Chains A and B, each alone.
Chain A
Amino acid sequence: MKKSYKIEVDCANCANKMEIAANKTEGVKSAAVNFMALKMNVEFEDGYEPKAVMGEILKRCRKVEPDCEIFF
């Protein structure tokens, strides 16, 4: 399943860091952050609940970029 989320982040480099963090999260098949459109596209592995996975992604992203926000 693929879903798109709106995000808030200040700099391009931080967006890259969020992308790396999101990709390391369990249940994520692939994640891509588009800094210009302020979007995060996440493809979930089968059998994972997107809401729960997104919570984990946000936690990981906050670790590398405390200011960031993901709306889900």
Chain B
Amino acid sequence: MTRKQKKALARIIISAAALAVCLLAENMFALPAWSEFVIFLIPYLIIGYDILIKAFKGILSGQVFDENFLMAVATVGAMALGEYMEAAAVMLFYQTGELFQSCAVGRSRQNISALMDIRPDYANIEKDGTLVQADPDDVEIGSEIVVKPGEKIPIDGIIVSGATTLNTAALTGESLPRDVGEGDEAQSGCINMTGLIKIKTTKKFGESTASKILELVENSSEKKSKSENFISKFARYYTPAVCISAFALAALVPLAMLVTGNQPEWGKWIMRALTFLVISCPCALVISIPLTFFAGIGGAGAAGILIKGSNYIETMAKTKYVVFDKTGTMTKGVFEVAGIHHNPIDDAKLLEYAALAESGSTHPIAKSICKECPNVDKSRVSDIHETAGFGVSAVIDGKQTAAGNEKLMKKLGVEYKPCHSAGTVVHIAIDGEYAGHILVADTVKPEAANALDSLKKAGIKKTVMLTGDGERTAKAVAEKIGADEVYSSLLPDGKVEITEKLLAAKKNGETLVFVGDGLNDAPVLSLADVGIAMGALGSDAAIEAADVVLMDDNPLKIAKAIKIARKCMRIVYQNIVFAIGVKLICLALGAAGIANMWAAIFADVGVMVIAVLNSIRALKTK
């Protein structure tokens, strides 16, 4: 509890005790009316003086209809009608509710900031041989900072000395440690787990990953959702409307009674009107709806999903179509050896020969083969000849070796066996004999099929894959992961065209989400209802272009993001219906004289507490 909250609690306890003494005194002695007023004034003023002052100041500066004004009018009115005990009790409950709300909001604020605990407090700088803790804001680009084990990396940079394991959980939501060494990039927000490292900073603190992410999450409430706008509009009309009805109840009803020749019963109707005023505060809505969105965004952030605004939560909850780019989204985006076929010699042996032959090449395919078989002895190779568009020939261990495509084999007159799988094929011939081929392909992420499956389970109507690759590769991947539709051989503007068509074909109120890696699909990211960029850790362009950013490249997070959005919206609707519903019922009961001021304040505070507690549920989604 903060100092303010403790003070409020003390006031509540003292005033509750004073009220109890007053009640005892009232029941035990026959007090004259004026002295009753005086003794009840004590607990009333202890608990309510600040509200009365605020209400008075509010009137002076033209701020009528705020909750202080309403509470002041209602309780002063009750006092004037001789309902001393009611006035003091209502004020007491109101303050208790306010305290509870302040505690609940403070607690959830703490929860959320603990989840997003990536803000670095200091940077270690070496000065005259000793380490000094400096404000990260003051560290210039190109400075060297030292990060000890257990510390957070404060600023993005490149490791100049030392090696360690980094924990990226705070950024990606996955506790997969990453090994880094000299020359590797280090992102701020990661925790250095094992060794001391020196980092040369490449960015300013404000431009570093951790700062960017925090800025995104903290500013996300600026993009308000329709529900939030609805609530602020509702609050703008609701309070004055209830106040006007209260006036009608207090003045017009008795007047009408008078005109029709009945007893006006002023006191009874004024009391009912005051009950109206107590109910008229829209607190439960005003606090719980933004809190729900904030909790949802915070919970998503902890799972490595950055949502740039509550409006995107609202849109994403209605997702029916998921369109995604193949490379980098469902596949790893790097070429790897996917198979070795038709080889009379050992797989390893063939791979070794291929790697030796390709060891001098910079072609991406050659590189992926060399990666599979590192540390080859290059002295075994001589006479390397690379022919662009064909392949490589070289002498390895005295044997004439050729590695390349079909054209190379034809040129050499070697009979080769074609490959049936999708990908790029490297045929190898040793001393003029066919020795088999190596298939190099972009491999599908292990989670991809599962990811599409969970999208289907989440009620997505259609999944569409777009790719610049050829039809055979595209179809093979689509089949493997279970995409409903696939469009292949697309240039970037082709992707835009197809997305436009899909957008036009969908029904109103349905959302189309595009998932890409942000490399060359920025136009589609902004065209779709919601653009999700994937594997964005360290990629500023993707963070800028997308509405939702997945910090790591796990496609399962797409379904997770949609689920979080849906849960969040469910809670928002629950709170809206619950809060407005209870208020309307209480207004009706209050007008009929069934609910008194006690019931009204219970309804007001109780609804708010329940709505706030309900909002907090948005923090966690399975």
Q: In the complex, are the beta carbons of B287 and A66 less than 8 A apart? A: no
A36 with B112, Cβ < 8 A, contacts A11-B287, A13-B283, A13-B286 known: yes
A36 to B221, CA, bound (A): 9
Q: Is A26 an interface residue (CB 8 A)?
A: no
Assembled-state Cα–Cα distance A38/B218 (Å): 9
Q: Does B161 interact with chain A (Cβ within 8 Å)?
A: no
Distance in angstroms from B615 CB to nearest chain A CB is 10
Our pick among A35, A39, A41, A66 for the contact of B54 (Cβ within 8 Å) is A66
Select from chain A the residue with minimum beta-carbon distance to B293: A36
Q: Are B61 and A12 within 8 A (Cβ)?
A: no
Question: Interface readout for B353-370 with A: 1 if CB under 8 Å, 0 if not?
Answer: 000000000000000000
| Count of CB-CB pairs between chains A and B under 8 Å | 57
Residue of B nearest to A16 (CB): B232
A11 touches B294 (CB 8 A): no
B67: interface (CB < 8 Å)? yes
Smallest Cβ-Cβ distance to B219: which chain A residue? A41
- B58 contacts across to A, CB distance below 8 A: 64
A14 nearest in chain B by CB position: B66
A37 in contact with B66 (CB, 8 Å): no
> B54 — which chain A residues lie within 8 A by C-beta?
66
Asked if A35 contacts B290 (CB within 8 A), the reply is yes
Query: Are A36 and B294 touching (Cβ within 8 A)?
Result: yes
Chain B, interface size: which category?
20 to 34
Q: Pick the residue among A10, A12, A41, A63 that contacts B222 (CB under 8 A).
A: A41
Task: Give the residue name and chain of the B residue nearest to A10 (CB).
Answer: B102
Does B109 interact with chain A (Cβ within 8 Å)?
A: yes
Q: Does B101 contact A (CB under 8 A)?
A: yes
Inside 8 A of A66's CB, which chain B residues have their CB?
53-54, 57
Residues of B contacting A: mostly: helix
A11 and B218 within 8 A (CB): no
Chain A residues near B221 (CB, 8 Å)?
Answer: 32, 34-37
Q: Tell me which residues from 71 to 121 in chain B have a Cβ below 8 Å from any Cβ of chain A.
A: 98, 101-102, 105, 109, 112
Contacts of A38 in B (CB 8 A): 109
In whole Å, how far is B283's beta carbon from the nearest beta carbon of chain A? 7
Which residue in chain A gives the minimum CB-CB distance to B221?
Answer: A34
Q: Which residue of A lies closest to B281 (CB)?
A: A13
Taking the closest CB of chain B, its distance from the CB of A12, in whole angstroms, is 4
Q: Which residues of chain B have C-beta atoms less than 8 A from A63's C-beta?
A: 57, 61
Contact present for A12 and B290 (CB under 8 Å): yes
Binding site for A on B (CB under 8 A): 4, 53-54, 57-58, 61, 63, 66-67, 98, 101-102, 105, 109, 112, 217-219, 221-222, 232, 235, 283, 286-287, 290-291, 294
What is the interface of chain A, defined by CB distance below 8 A to chain B?
A: 4, 10-13, 16-17, 32, 34-39, 41, 63-64, 66
17 contacts across the A-B interface (CB closer than 8 A): A10-B4, A12-B105, A12-B286, A12-B290, A13-B283, A13-B287, A17-B63, A32-B219, A32-B222, A34-B221, A35-B221, A36-B105, A36-B294, A37-B218, A41-B219, A66-B54, A66-B57
Q: A34-B218, A38-B109 are in contact. List 18 more A-B contacts (CB 8 A).
A: A11-B98, A11-B101, A12-B286, A12-B287, A12-B291, A13-B67, A13-B283, A16-B286, A32-B222, A34-B219, A36-B109, A36-B221, A36-B290, A36-B294, A37-B217, A64-B61, A66-B53, A66-B54
Closest 7 CB pairs of A and B: A36-B294, A37-B218, A12-B287, A32-B222, A34-B221, A13-B286, A63-B61
